[in-house]
Structure 1
Amino acid sequence: MKTQNNSIRNIAIIAHVDHGKTTLVDHLFRQSGAFRSNQDMGERIMDSMDLERERGITIAAKNCSIDWKGTRINIIDTPGHADFGSEVERALMMADGALLLVDASEGPLPQTRFVLKKALASNLAIIVIINKIDRHDARAKEVLDEIYELFLDLEAGDHHIEFPVFFAIGRDGKIKRNLNDELCDLSLLLEEIIKTIPGPSYDTEAPFQMMVSDLGWSDFLGRLVIGKVVNGSTKVNEKLVRMTEKGAEPLRVVKMQIYQGITFHEVDEISPGDIVILAGVENAEIGDTVCHRDYQKALPRIHIDDPVVSMEFAGNTSPFSGKEGSIVQSSRILERLKKEALDNVGIQVEEKNGSFIVSGRGEFQMAILAETMRREGYEFIIGRPIVIFKKENGKTLEPVEYVCLDIDSTCTGTASDMLARRKGKMLNFITKDARVRLEYLVPSRTMIGFRNEFLTATRGAGLINTYLHGYEEYKGEFSGRQNGVMVSDRTGRVTPYALHCLEDRGVFFIDPGIMVYEGMIVGEHARSNDLSVNVTREKKLTNIRAANKDENVVLTPPLRMNLEKAIEYIADDECIEVTPLSIRIRKKILGTQQRYISGRIAQPQA
């Protein structure tokens, strides 16, 4: 017999990057009394990773809870970037409802659509919040109409379309039901959550069942598993089993915790609907079911979309290997990648010819993984992202992305040409005042490297949003990067004199004074071919001095390459050396003559 646990509400928060979901959660904590009045909460409670705070995005789905008038509200903060879609899917599995947060100016964007589609497929009750209504360009009424259109496009049922709506200034923690009402605190929203979002349903006669939705680690308790109790209850030290794809494994839970605020609270018993942390479940994988040993029935495993891109990771083979990183062994790199695959079901790892092929949702996800490893002291090299094709009925299919550009009307022609060159197909063209919104379907492989070129062409004023649309028949060859690169032909220290003499050949990526090695890419060539250059050349000294000949050399500032830019920039015969201190672009074959013999450069230059 099915019933509901009305003392609990489990809600996810759906929003595009930078629409204010993490800030809203912070204010819910402040106003619900989750902290003492004199307690320092810090900024952005939910975004605890350094990368999340720096980039202003949510990468990993996290959980917390607040108590409101006797009801525990478990809040699951989800990533807004489509590359972290596996985190989204896991978060929605634990939720019974969702808050859809939309910017009052930008409206619902592609990645909002991506997460909302999955929420509707999970039949979650939705509460809509139109945030940032204090923006000078806010258009709350139009945005509400766009949200209704989005629900209709996603073929939502009547019970989904009749959603409650709030208008908010999340930064101030203020909200109202109608635009003409006075702003009030978030208690209005908390009351609506309890009224609209159903309590978790469960079978009163079924024994204990819990789906593993996330994994954690404690130095004291070892492997932690996190998930929602679907049916039944259990106590500490009760004999349970873990249902895997291969069968059942016995286990004994040594400690159980639930969320209280942003910390854990130890309990002796857990009930249906609880989002819990269990210790003592070794070797668990996401998607496993923990259940009673006398009722060994697995829940349906979590379905994660197939990976779209793969990238090669390997130990560092450059002449500077081991100088900047503390962890350089290939075995340690593989161990770290396998740990990431355990924690993130959206990533797959396989060994191939001494390197490791990591597959995931997009190059941004790969860049975050590489940046995280870099900060942990690892030193390694990564190759160019490669799109994963499919074969169906004898045809080659490739992933296609939905691309939405928001640009100034003066840049329309440039942006259209760029996407047409990338084999894009226009879907929509919308004009709003002096801004234009372009919607395209573009092959994923041609979009690698597009972001930086687009931002340069629009002088930083363009907005780009993408998500995976599906698979279509292969669209044909794409030429990729138009310019060649300048490659150092020897190891040494870069001199200002050498850079000054070579400035007319292209744009440099390096500063004078740094060490380079043979095969390291030091700049972009002005022409389409690669050029070997000597950037360590020094000015010859003579005993003849003419007046005004020893003036200071003035150099053009170099083009700075961060990890994401480098990943988008490199060609198939190039790779990136990643260390805790440096990011260097290099050729896979370092020797100038070896590259010449293999036909990778037209002719070595003196």
Structure 2
Amino acid sequence: MQNIRNIAIIAHVDHGKTTLVDKIIHASKIFGEHQQFDDLILDNNDLERERGITIVSKNVSVRYKDVKINIIDTPGHADFGGEVERVLKMADGVLLLVDAFEGAMPQTRFVLSKAIDLGLKPIVVVNKVDKENCRPDEVHEQVFDLMFNLGATEDQLDFVTLYGSSKQGWMSRDWKQKTEDITPLLDAIIEVIPPAPFIEGTPQMQVTSLDYSAFVGRIAIGRVHRGTLKEGANMSLMKADGSVKKVKIKELQVFEGLGKAKVAEVQAGEICAVTGIEGFDIGDTIADAENPEALSRISIDEPTMNMLFTINNSPFFGKEGKFVTSRHLRDRLYKETEKNLALRVQETDREDTFLVYGRGILHLSVLIETMRREGYELQVGQPQVLYKEDDNGNRLEPIEHLVVDVPEETAGKVIELVTMRKGELTIMEPKGDLQHLEFNIPSRGLIGLRNNVLTATAGEAIMNHRFQSYEPYKGGIPGRISGSLISMEAGAATAYTLDKMQDRGEFFIDPGEEVYGGQVIGEHTRPNDLTINLQKGKKLTNMRASGSDENVKIQPKRQFSLEDAMEYIQKDEYLEVTPKSIRMRKILLDENERLRYAKKAD
């Protein structure tokens, strides 16, 4: 047996996973006294820091009492479930982190079910016991019930529970007794999580993650399942289609602290990075050169949503981005599928248009946001959910489990909004000073729902959802009830016209902002679309009369985040995304063309 523990940290979004990993890193004295680090060492890309969520799983290791602990920090959001499913294969146990007030949330259930299916040993950490209204004992019971319902074994149900605050940096077996540091957690990991076993035989390693270096190219990361990998050894790469390719290991590295250390060989049970292997994909097996044996491939849940991605062909094309052609777009999307397992790209009958399949709005929006930061210009269509058919030819649609925590006085409005979109209320109970609501709702009913709920509750609702199952089609759902205000011509919008048009709706642009014909510039107060001219200025004469020049008072424009805009657009609209701007536009920019198309459709 080796002195290695492989552990994955799983939790719902914002329950404190990455903060806890930070504290473990500090406790193990990886850094010298002189080194200074910001909070959230592992959330190292800009998007993760801005949104406060983990998007890509990370590997680090710490040493404690002569034991090496490999820690895998996983995303908490169900949209990034593809990441979680594959990295759990590298672990022997999981650290389940639960908020002492919120308890087990939808995504907790999602990632925990994957860990229990793989037979991993859990340690439960009830975090944030320093919060007001926290209820650690109730939450402990809730986690036990959840594990039981998910079919956990007796060994898994006999879990160790620790209480504490990862922000304050302490953990204890009793939440009423505050300790000095988080060493009780590290002791529990060594005591409870089984050591990584050494399995003898011919070498086998499954690629579960990948890294990239400008010097050595793509790097395969995974856990050695059997035998010993050696530097310079000839191996076989076993692909998804059954083909076997001869490869050679150039270099082997293991995770030490926040970095990697070069080694001559890696034994079974250790997580390592392999360089020098070309043409591999996630799920491939690196096996013996003479007697190659493949490990079973990683299965990933199906996507539930797709979006049309196309090149930017608006009048402002090429003004703000570096990568604007269909070749750029194609290469970037296919490059993403290499490491983003839950994402799929399908070509259409047009060279410059692709259908991209993902787990949800957040999953797709992170890809779009990453691309725009890299300098890409593109347009995307309205998100569409994916339907299936059962054996009798009936249409099935994805249903999500939606959880909303909301102040009691606005619970009625939320229930009304969700049931209008074919949601069914399953649970309603008090939770502290909030009302806890649970619904089953079609995935398409969620598109645009968050905005409406936040507006109705003055921003106080906490919403979470996860995919549940495919069920029979629930019928039509009312979409956005208001039409769009559309610009008639290109040019800068004048304050004079914006002021005069304020009774027609709410605007998405400021005075002086450049717009083009066919751009969606606001929301109409009525259900139909309205094309307006914003470039008209005030007629100037020599005559001046006191009182005729009233002050222009214009409401501030409505700001959209990328996800808000993706949920807002209609079927006949595109979202134009560039490194500096997010604009909405009609697919057909010319008003006469739109009218002709509408007549044909009727």
TM-score scaled by structure 2?
Answer: 0.98
Alpha carbons 1:595, 1:601 under 8 Å: kept: no
2:236 maps to which of 241, 249, 254: 241
Alpha carbons 2:2, 2:198 under 8 Å: kept: no
Counterpart position of 1:65:
61
Q: How does 1:94-243 map to 2 (within 5 A)?
A: 94-204=90-200, 206-243=201-238
Q: How does 1:281-430 map to 2 (within 5 A)?
A: 281-352=277-348, 353-354=350-351, 355-393=353-391, 394-430=393-429
Structure 1: runs of 5+ lacking an equivalent: none
Question: Structure 2 counterpart of 1:192, which letter?
Answer: A
Post-superposition CA distance 1:574-597 (Å, at most 9, x none) = 110000000000011111111011
Post-superposition CA distance 1:420-445 (Å, at most 9, x none) = 11111121111235421111110001
> How far 1:601 moved relative to its partner?
12
> How far 1:180 moved relative to its partner?
3.1
Q: Aligned partners of 2:447, 2:600: CA distance in 1, in Å?
A: 23
Q: Aligned partners of 1:600, 1:12: CA distance in 2, in Å?
A: 57
Counterpart position of 1:38:
34
Counterpart position of 1:432:
431
Post-superposition CA distance 1:316-346 (Å, at most 9, x none) = 0100000011110111111111111001111
Q: Aligned partners of 1:348, 1:359: CA distance in 2, in Å?
A: 5
Alpha carbons 1:133, 1:140 under 8 Å: kept: yes
Alpha carbons 2:221, 2:272 under 8 Å: kept: yes
535-544 vs 336-345, which moves further:
535-544
Alpha carbons 1:486, 1:523 under 8 Å: kept: yes
Alpha carbons 1:530, 1:601 under 8 Å: kept: no
Question: Structure 1 counterpart of 2:178, which letter?
Answer: E
Question: Structure 1 counterpart of 2:244, which letter?
Answer: A
> How far 1:6 moved relative to its partner?
3.0
Query: 1:588 aligned to 2:583?
Result: no
Distance verdict in 2 for CA 1:434–1:43, change over 3 Å: closer
Q: Aligned partners of 2:309, 2:568: CA distance in 1, in Å?
A: 17
Alpha carbons 2:283, 2:297 under 8 Å: kept: yes
Alpha carbons 2:361, 2:383 under 8 Å: kept: yes
Give the secondary structure class of the aligned counterpart of 2:598.
coil
Q: Aligned partners of 2:599, 2:384: CA distance in 1, in Å?
A: 19
Q: Aligned partners of 2:266, 2:433: CA distance in 1, in Å?
A: 56
Distance verdict in 2 for CA 1:35–1:415, change over 3 Å: same
Alpha carbons 1:309, 1:362 under 8 Å: kept: yes
- Structure 1 runs of 4+ aligned residues shifted over 4 Å read none
Q: Aligned partners of 2:450, 2:235: CA distance in 1, in Å?
A: 50
Question: What is the RMSD of the two structures over their aligned residues, measured on CA atoms?
Answer: 1.4
Give the secondary structure class of the aligned counterpart of 1:194.
helix
Counterpart position of 1:453:
452
Q: Aligned partners of 1:600, 1:412: CA distance in 2, in Å?
A: 42
Q: Aligned partners of 2:117, 2:198: CA distance in 1, in Å?
A: 19
Structure 2: runs of 5+ lacking an equivalent: none
Q: Aligned partners of 1:221, 1:243: CA distance in 2, in Å?
A: 21
Counterpart position of 2:16:
20
Alpha carbons 1:257, 1:265 under 8 Å: kept: yes
Post-superposition CA distance 1:127-177 (Å, at most 9, x none) = 011111111121111111111121122121211111101111111211111
Q: Aligned partners of 1:297, 1:197: CA distance in 2, in Å?
A: 28
Alpha carbons 1:258, 1:277 under 8 Å: kept: yes
Aligned length: 598
> How far 1:412 moved relative to its partner?
1.6
| Percent identity (aligned) | 44
Counterpart position of 1:501:
500
2:74 maps to which of 73, 78, 81: 78
TM-score scaled by structure 1?
Answer: 0.97
Give the secondary structure class of the aligned counterpart of 1:83.
helix
Q: Aligned partners of 2:87, 2:229: CA distance in 1, in Å?
A: 23
Counterpart position of 1:51:
47
Q: Aligned partners of 2:97, 2:89: CA distance in 1, in Å?
A: 19
